Structure 1
């Protein structure tokens, strides 16, 4: 199961970052027995291949293997994907048989919900699951991109946040969750790291991320460091 050290409070509830070899990119919500992942970008390599830019072609297999492992580690019965599930709306048509079978098995084994994003607004659930533009679950808004000015608890993706940390004189970039708070610990919003195998990252302190999370009294990056969950301050309200 997920180490207790990666458990943290958010909006009056308990959440856990799921550590894997690729980093802690998935979020587990114990009360809902739900796994949340953002920005899978399935079939990104095949999209670029259509434009004569060739990348290793098995990114979907690797990403789905990571999802299956996270489901196994947490025992999640629900999966919510927070947008940009495919690199484009037609991506599900390009899945090769092995990856298509992996995805179909996952959507059969769990209550799977696709939240659409800017890359795949017209996607179809050809491999199972249901589709929504956004959703409210247990008082939490699930959407692809953080909505500036939102004051309700919110979980989103889109920005692929990463934080740079210094370890033994080396600078290392790691995917992270970005958490904002306002009016105390009962209200806030969270941006998940990108989960896909072929996803890059944006500096967690980038002005675009901080702007998307306003209003906020504080914004922090959360990233596993050894056996603990480290918190890096990104913004504090001067008032």
Structure 2
């Protein structure tokens, strides 16, 4: 699977090239920020028409990860749908496809800021979920041993920016899994302030590649002449 194996808070983890996280000891697959229905939401709100393929691309990738890891539990770490109308308007074929992936396993929908309400589809809906001493929630908190999403982190290596896992000793943030999701550079202050000095980025792509992140110096405050 060309994944990157690491230990986070005493739990063995595998960062998949797709952006999914697999915990072999617990047979758990975790993905974050699918944002299903984003093209539909943009069309409804702005009239801008994007190619409506992102749901298929995202679910196809998820189906492949489920086939490769055969998890007992799938955790969708929030913002699984771009808004609640996107969840409610999912067509029958897509609903059946998703139901097939859910069959025979526990499926946990974590609340996100885009999809905070209950979902009228299979699975269990929770604000957060705990397993193996880890807390799974959508947005990072000050708590240790936490796995979250929300920020869509990216990191630039060899001139190319890719979605990336970010981790230090106490916090792990997953990249966005959805096909139509943007990203935030890992040295953006909103992200960098969540981590200590020893930050690792695991870039997604054909192969999951781990690299240390050097903190980008912030410009010194301007101390010009007073008038």
Residue number in structure 1 paired with 2:30:
36
* Secondary structure at the counterpart of residue 167 of structure 2: strand
How many pairs were matched up?
215
Aligned residue for 2:201, secondary structure, equals: strand
Q: 1:50 to 1:70 in 2, by over 3 A?
A: same
The reply to whether residue 110 of structure 1 matches residue 102 of structure 2 is: no
Matches within 5 A, 1:5-20: 6-19=4-17
Normalized against structure 1, the TM-score is what? 0.84
Cross-structure match for 1:133: 127
Equivalent of residue 182 in structure 2, options 188, 191, 200: 200
Measure, in 2, the Cα distance between the counterparts of 1:18 and 1:109: 22
Match of 1:185 in 2: none
Corresponding residue number in structure 1 for 2:162: 174
* C-alpha distance after superposition, 1:127-170 (max 9, x if no partner): 200100112112101000111x22x200000000111111xxxx
Please list, as runs of the form range in 1=range in 2, the aligned pairs for 1:84-123 lying within 5 A after superposition. Answer: 84-123=79-118
- 1:224 deviation in Å? 5.4
Distance 1:225 1:232 in 2: 17
Q: Deviation at 1:226?
A: 7.1
Shift, 1:203, TM fit: 0.2
Provide the C-alpha distance between the structure 2 equivalents of 1:228 and 1:39, rounded to a whole number of angstroms: 18
Structure that is richer in strand per residue: 1
Structure 2: runs of 5 or more not aligned: 217-227
Deviation at 1:70, TM superposition (A): 0.5
SS in 2 for 1:146: coil
SS of residue paired to 1:86: coil
Report if the CA contact (8 A) 2:82-2:115 is conserved: yes
Hey, which bits of structure 1, 4+ residues long, moved more than 6 A?
A: none
CA offsets per residue over residues 188-215 of structure 1, 9 Å max, x none? 110000000110111012110122x25x
1:225 to partner: Cα distance: 7.8
Q: CA deviation at 1:217?
A: 4.6
Q: Does 1:66 align with 2:61?
A: yes
- Report the secondary structure of 2:96's partner residue: helix
- Going from structure 1 to structure 2, the CA distance change for 1:133 and 1:227 (only over 3 Å counts) comes to closer
> Given the alignment of the two structures, is residue 155 of structure 1 paired with residue 143 of structure 2, yes or no?
no
RMSD between aligned residues: 1.9
**By how many angstroms is 1:235 displaced?**
4.3
Q: Does 1:230 align with 2:210?
A: yes
